[in-house]
Chains A and B, each alone.
Chain A
Amino acid sequence: MGMFLSLTGSGLAMGMIYAMLSVGLLLLIRAVGVTNYAQGDLLALGAYTAFFLMDRLDLSGLPMILLMILLFACFGAIFMFTCYYPLRKTKWKQSIMVCTIGAGMVIQEICMIVCGSMVKPMDPIIPGTLTIGTFVLQYQYIVVFLLSILVMVGVYLLFDKVYAGRAMQAAAQNSYAANLIGIPAILTTLGTYIIVMMISGFAGYLVAPIFLVRTTLNTLQSKAFASMVLGGFGSVPGAVLGGLLIGLIEAYSTYFTTVYKDVFVFGVLLLTLLIRPQGIFGEIQLKEKA
């Protein structure tokens, strides 16, 4: 029983990380129609940024958090102006997607040049382990889960209650109409990129104490894609639920096999898509016959 609860705890925490990544993916797809293949690298960039601020500049607490937010905003802007803005009017939309693949490689190399290529540990936000009988869970997992929920709630409130968020949604749905009514599409797109970078970067800061600061954190991206598809393409609640499910399946599968756990995860994904191809919360799109 203790092991089951331990696996559930770690699964839920990782599920929220996948959810954050897939929500970020969805925001960009909705805003600019771009599938961002550097999403995992943005997470790694967040980890390296936090490490740089804590280890190299010896910052902590509120100053570190504020500077981290500022840096994430800058990175989001740089990402947008290098990978989207020059290509926004291209006739071949896949070029932006290809650009993100290249951007991912550049981000990895820059991180290694600045911080070194060896993996680096990072102190957890709350050190130690919660142990109750056979139930063992690092406090950092609990912190990840709770803070991720806060971030998701914040994103929901932004897009649902705040004018800026609604403006971004409007521009995402129809940028031409949004421009006509005075919503500058370029600013809303910039805002979306900054929010995506903040979500991904913050996720990187949360997972770094568990998984170390390393460029291979970008492999978490594949599970984020799986979460997005499982939950229903285009659905934010679906992305969150998909992330949680993927996290739990991954955790429980290690009870049976640690080598083939990814087979379990993607096997369940394939099975779900066979039965319900639109995902859990997705809707079947009916095409009108010409």
Chain B
Amino acid sequence: MKKTLAVLLVLSLCFSLFACSNANSQDTVVDESYWDDAPTMKIAILTALTGASKETGDRAKRSVDYAVEQINANGGVLGKQLEVIYFDIGADQQSFINALQSAVNTEGISATIGYSTSTYTVAGSDIIRESQIPNITMGNSAGIFDLDNPYIWQARVPDKIGTEVLAKISFETYNVKNPAVVWMTDASGQSQHDAYVAAMESYGATIAADIGFDRTTTSDFNPIITQVMDSGSDGLALFCTNQQDGVLLAETVKQFDYPHPIGSSSGNFVYSFLDVLTDSAADGWYGVSEFNLDADIPIVKEYLAAMEERDTQGLGRPGWSEAAYYDSVYILTEAAKIANSTNPQKINEAMTQIKDIQGVMSSYSYHEDHSLANYLWVAEIDGNDIIIKEQVYRD
């Protein structure tokens, strides 16, 4: 009896493994006529539906669902309804890889959107390349460009450009000649740090303190800010996320009452970050903002009104990330129309013909580096509000 059960168990295991290995893949099941005959255009959305970043995922879902409703109400894409499938990237890189693999293995996927962490995109690059399915990522670090992956597209202005703008205004507007730089040591932070230091040194500035931190393990920023206070700097540049590391840094800097101008990466110019801080801890910060909620652009006003109406979970004002998800849906459907097909390879080729699509976060055009956004905004934080100073187009 026991032997029989053991044999049955082994056979079940073998059968399960066999079934998994024969999971549908785009190469074996889907051919050209599939794309013409498919009733829907499918886009996979990679975002956090569970875990510590769940609210980020809820925001993205709010935006994407709205975009899908609008597109389908206007007749869909090439006569087909647009369908999005959400894949939960969980709380870590491995979960993202699993979700990405699952997405590209799903039958009929024309494109994928997500995620906003550059490190994850770099880690998933090979999967995207092998799948030949275009991915629009919200990450914008130099590491993504270095991959030279023809299927990865960046929704945002590259970190390098945004950080060079930050350095320029630091030096010229805020008169920072001797900054302290505090930066997270992942792909995005490294990219911003390198661009900022190079730009500041090209202006003749000297770096007073250069302090990296691991954003996943650093909880206590007191030693770091103590060193900044002791460095003799006349300005501070912070390259962090708007998650726990950014909040902790902001609160710590506030506690120390740092007396000089503080510049920050674009990721912190978002209300979901400011609304968490106590006592307007980021008051006075300057930098580049990727999303102008006060822009006098009809699509922006319409989008904001819709987000407010759909805010059943108390998510508050939208930020650049969910605006980028929204715009990415439109970019991909526009590429499908240009290609006259929902075939992922044809959509990928058509992305090179994207020009001046006005979105919510920015307008979008093809650039050789595979980034799409055309402009961003110089901004300052006043209390808990983001005050836009001027619009800056990339050259």
Most-contacted residue by chain B among A3, A134, A138, A259 (CB, 10 A): A259
Contact with A along B85-110 (1 / 0, CB 8 A): 00000000000000000000000000
Q: In whole angstroms, how far apart are the Cα atoms of A119 and B219 in the complex?
A: 12
* A20 on the B face (CB < 8 A): no
A-B Cβ contacts below 8 A, count: 88
Contact B223 A258 (CB under 8 A): yes
User: Which of B161-169, B207-215, B354-362 lies at the interface?
Assistant: B207-215
Candidates B212, B220, B227, B244; contact of A259 at CB < 8 Å: B212
Contact B222 A121 (CB under 8 A): no
Contact B220 A10 (CB under 8 A): yes
* A216 on the B face (CB < 8 A): yes
Q: In whole angstroms, how far apart are the Cα atoms of A215 and B53 in the complex?
A: 11
Most-contacted residue by chain A among B220, B229, B256 (CB, 10 A): B220
* A52 on the B face (CB < 8 A): no
Contact B244 A210 (CB under 8 A): no
Q: B211 contacts which chain A residues (CB < 8 A)?
A: 258
Q: Which of B24-58 contact A (CB under 8 A)?
A: 51-55
Contact A119 B247 (CB under 8 A): yes
Contact A258 B226 (CB under 8 A): no
Q: A14 contacts which chain B residues (CB < 8 A)?
A: 220
User: Which of B112-120, B151-159, B271-279 lies at the interface?
Assistant: B271-279
* B218 on the A face (CB < 8 A): yes
* A136 on the B face (CB < 8 A): yes
* B185 on the A face (CB < 8 A): yes
Q: A138 contacts which chain B residues (CB < 8 A)?
A: 222, 255
Q: A210 contacts which chain B residues (CB < 8 A)?
A: 220
Q: Given A2-B230, A138-B255, A211-B248, does the pair A118, B222 have CB atoms closer than 8 Å?
A: no
Q: In whole angstroms, how far apart are the Cα atoms of A2 and B55 in the complex?
A: 40
Contact A117 B53 (CB under 8 A): yes
Contact A259 B251 (CB under 8 A): no
* B146 on the A face (CB < 8 A): no
Contact A117 B52 (CB under 8 A): yes
Q: Given A138-B255, A258-B213, does the pair A118, B224 have CB atoms closer than 8 Å?
A: no
Most-contacted residue by chain A among B53, B185, B224, B226 (CB, 10 A): B226
Candidates A2, A137, A212, A250; contact of B247 at CB < 8 Å: A212
Contact with A along B179-220 (1 / 0, CB 8 A): 000000100000000000000000000000001111001111
Contact B255 A129 (CB under 8 A): yes
Contact B229 A136 (CB under 8 A): yes
Contact A258 B248 (CB under 8 A): no
Contact A120 B276 (CB under 8 A): yes
* B363 on the A face (CB < 8 A): no
Task: For A137, give the chain B residue with the smallest CB separation.
Answer: B222
Contact B247 A254 (CB under 8 A): no
Task: For B51, give the chain A residue with the smallest CB separation.
Answer: A117
Q: In whole angstroms, how far apart are the Cα atoms of A112 and B58 in the complex?
A: 14
Contact with A along B262-287 (1 / 0, CB 8 A): 00000000001000111000000000
* B345 on the A face (CB < 8 A): no
* B257 on the A face (CB < 8 A): yes
Q: B185 contacts which chain A residues (CB < 8 A)?
A: 259
How big is chain A's contact interface, by range?
Answer: 35 or more
Candidates B223, B226, B251, B272; contact of A118 at CB < 8 Å: B272
Q: A28 contacts which chain B residues (CB < 8 A)?
A: none
Contact B223 A121 (CB under 8 A): no
Most-contacted residue by chain B among A137, A216, A250 (CB, 10 A): A216
* A6 on the B face (CB < 8 A): yes
Task: For A210, give the chain B residue with the smallest CB separation.
Answer: B220
* B243 on the A face (CB < 8 A): yes
Task: For A116, give the chain B residue with the smallest CB separation.
Answer: B55
Candidates B52, B218, B272; contact of A214 at CB < 8 Å: B52
Q: Given A129-B256, A138-B255, A215-B52, does the pair A119, B226 have CB atoms closer than 8 Å?
A: no
Contact A10 B219 (CB under 8 A): no
* A174 on the B face (CB < 8 A): no
Q: Which of A232-283 contact B (CB under 8 A)?
A: 250-251, 254-255, 258-259, 262
Q: In whole angstroms, how far apart are the Cα atoms of A109 and B29 in the complex?
A: 38
Contact with B along A216-233 (1 / 0, CB 8 A): 110110000000000000
* A160 on the B face (CB < 8 A): no
Q: B213 contacts which chain A residues (CB < 8 A)?
A: 258-259
* A45 on the B face (CB < 8 A): no
Q: In whole angstroms, how far apart are the Cα atoms of A246 and B292 in the complex?
A: 46
Candidates A6, A211, A216, A219; contact of B52 at CB < 8 Å: A216
Q: B55 contacts which chain A residues (CB < 8 A)?
A: 116-118
Q: B217 contacts which chain A residues (CB < 8 A)?
A: 219, 262
Q: B256 contacts which chain A residues (CB < 8 A)?
A: 129, 136
Q: Which of B231-252 contact A (CB under 8 A)?
A: 243-244, 247-248, 251
Contact A117 B54 (CB under 8 A): yes
Q: B243 contacts which chain A residues (CB < 8 A)?
A: 119
Q: In whole angstroms, how far apart are the Cα atoms of A214 and B226 in the complex?
A: 24
Q: B52 contacts which chain A residues (CB < 8 A)?
A: 112, 117, 214-216
Q: In whole angstroms, how far apart are the Cα atoms of A141 and B227 in the complex?
A: 18
Given contacts A6-B223, A216-B52, A258-B213, 15 further A-B contacts (CB under 8 A): A3-B227, A7-B223, A10-B223, A112-B54, A117-B52, A117-B53, A117-B54, A119-B243, A119-B276, A121-B276, A138-B222, A212-B244, A212-B247, A220-B219, A254-B223
Q: Top 7 closest A-B pairs, CB basis?
A: A254-B223, A117-B54, A119-B244, A121-B278, A211-B219, A10-B222, A6-B226
Q: List 25 A-B contacts (CB under 8 A).
A: A3-B227, A112-B54, A117-B51, A118-B55, A118-B276, A119-B247, A121-B276, A128-B255, A129-B255, A136-B226, A136-B229, A137-B222, A211-B248, A212-B247, A216-B219, A219-B217, A220-B219, A251-B220, A254-B224, A255-B227, A258-B212, A258-B214, A258-B224, A259-B214, A262-B217
